[in-house]
Amino acid sequence: MKPNANPSLPSLYTDLGISPEVLALGDRILSGLQERFAAIDATAEYNQLKVLKAMQENQVSEACLLGTTGYGYNDLGRDTLEAVYASVFHTEDALVRPQITCGTHALSLALMSNLRPGDELLSHVGKPYDTLEEVIGIRPSKGSLREYGVSYRQVDLRADGSFDYAAIQKAVNEKTRLVTIQRSKGYQTRPTLSVERIGELIAFIKDIKPDVICMVDNCYGEFVETIEPSDVGADMVVGSLIKNPGGGLAPIGGYIAGRRECVENAAFRLTSPGLGKEVGASLGVLPSFYQGLFLAPNVTASALKGAVFAANIYERLGYPVVPDASESRHDIIQAVTFGDPEGVVAFCEGIQAAAPVDSHVTPEPWDMPGYDAKVIMAAGAFVSGSSIELSADGPIKPPYAVYFQGGLTWHHAKFGILRSLQSLTDRGIVTREQIEGICR
């Protein structure tokens, strides 16, 4: 007898390691998410047209897909791409380069190019992401802002996640040159900031000191809403191309979009005084940059559906999740707090096992550069470290939370979440009785 050449969908899930009980739980959760998913699709449609309009208005042509080498003078594709980004983000200018190696580099570049010795950097949303601690000098590091005479202060969010406006009023002073606003939660379990809330904070700060530069770390937030922080007063928005705006195709790169002076400062810091944006060969990456941006709204929507799905599953299982299962979404990251390292490790092992690349390897916590604790990362990705692809990570320290994000397609994001739950079930961290209790 010939083997079944066309197995059923449940059989395929079984072949990929998903038990009938876990699959049934996933189907039960999904039955209540159709309205949420329709709203995500509507946002993706709007953003798709926004990107398309920007490409058409800036006359993207086949010639724009050709790269340059050497100095990169008169690189049509590079310059047009930056005009497209400026149009998408409604800014005066943009810097979009493969020479920007990651999100931390993009943020460091924006800060170091627009701050001078004696200036003060403020964060009014609490502690920044771990890798920025060494950039700022919170943890001593070679070449930090602190070494160049830039001071730093922060105002923590209130316990309920709201802004401490009274403390912010006191914190802004004559030395305050730049305010950094981190949209996403980083390795914290605070709420992600909506674009509307970011706009309210910027308006409050500008009312105190109109000439202060407001920079938004936009990582993980692009295309989640129909507006961006640059639409509500941000002087700079900064991000990584191996997150949302690269659409899973960009192999490297970062962007800074904003006021022309701020972007020019960043360009002179990236290359050299006197050279700025005029140099920087695009090599062979322009097709992936353009096509990735074109696909980004729908790739982001797929990742967002995965995050909503994860929140609903793990909240029903009794774990603290941020955002919760029903609240509005402003980035693609889903935090799940397990309270012990075993849960974090098991979750990441499941995500790794669901990957198209390196599914056979086992992630382990290790001392990653830029972090103050061991970190486990699951990322079997086509682009190394790409967190718009299915991935999960977390520091091995209290409260032992894992941060899930990505999924180039919704169906892969769905499978990854089911595989994470299967891993927890196989280890006995989640019991069969818990799953069956929800499915009744």
DSSP secondary structure, 139-154, as one string: S--TT-TGGGT-EEEE
Asked if residue 41 and residue 107 are part of one domain, the reply reads: no
Query: Is residue 61 in some structural domain?
Result: no
CA distances from 351 to 63, 313, 368, 421, 422 (A): 40, 15, 19, 9, 10
**What's the CATH number where 244 sits?**
3.40.640.10
Q: What percent of the chain shows pLDDT beyond 90?
A: 91
At residue 206, φ and ψ (nearest 5 deg) are -65, -30
Whole domain around residue 112: which residue ranges? 68-285
pLDDT grade for 3, boundaries at 50, 70 and 90: low
Domain co-membership, 383 together with 330? yes
pLDDT for residue 4: 57
Domain boundary among 240, 264, 285: 285
How many residues make up the chain in this entry?
Answer: 440
CA dihedral 13, 18, 22, 26 (to 10 degrees): -40
What are the C-alpha distances in Å from 159 to residues 67, 125, 174, 185, 327?
50, 12, 28, 14, 18
Residue 219 included in any domain: yes
Last residue of a domain, one of 265, 285, 305: 285
CA 33/CA 305 separation, integer angstroms: 9
Instruction: With a cut of 50, say whether residue 91 has pLDDT above it.
Output: yes
Mean pLDDT of the chain: 95
For residues 382 and 432, what is the distance between their CA atoms, to the nearest angstrom? 34
Q: Is there a domain that residue 3 lies in?
A: no
Residue in this structure with the two tokens 């949420």, named with its chain if needed: 36
**Is 25 in the same domain as 108?**
no
Asked if residue 395 and residue 378 are part of one domain, the reply reads yes
Domain boundary among 232, 251, 285: 285
Shared-domain flag, residues 40 and 154: no
Give the C-alpha separation, 30 to 325, whole Å.
Answer: 12
Is the residue at 176 inside a domain? yes
Asked, for residue 1, whether it belongs to a domain, the answer is: no
Q: What is the pLDDT at residue 373?
A: 86
Query: Are 337 and 379 in a shared domain?
Result: yes
Residue 286 has pLDDT above 70, yes or no: yes
Domain count, the chain: 2
Q: Which SS3 state, helix, strand or coil, does residue 220 take?
A: coil
In this structure, the answer to whether residues 230 and 86 fall within a common structural domain is yes
Instruction: Round to whole Å and give the CA distance between 125 and 154.
Output: 7
* CB 47 within 8 Å of CB 297: yes
Quick check: 399 and 339 in contact, CB under 8 A?
Answer: yes
Is 56 within a domain? Answer: no
What's residue 1's pLDDT?
Answer: 42
pLDDT of 295 over the 60 cut: yes
Q: Per-residue pLDDT for 2 more than 80?
A: no
pLDDT tens digits along 177-205: 999 999 998 777 788 999 999 999 999 99
CA 256 to each of CA 111, 121, 216, 300: distance values in angstroms, whole numbers, following the listed order:
11, 18, 10, 19
Task: Identify any residues that bridge with 190 across adjacent strands, giving them in sequence order.
Answer: none
What is the C-alpha to C-alpha distance for residues 320 and 28, in angstroms, rounded to an integer? 20
**Are 306 and 194 in the same domain?**
no
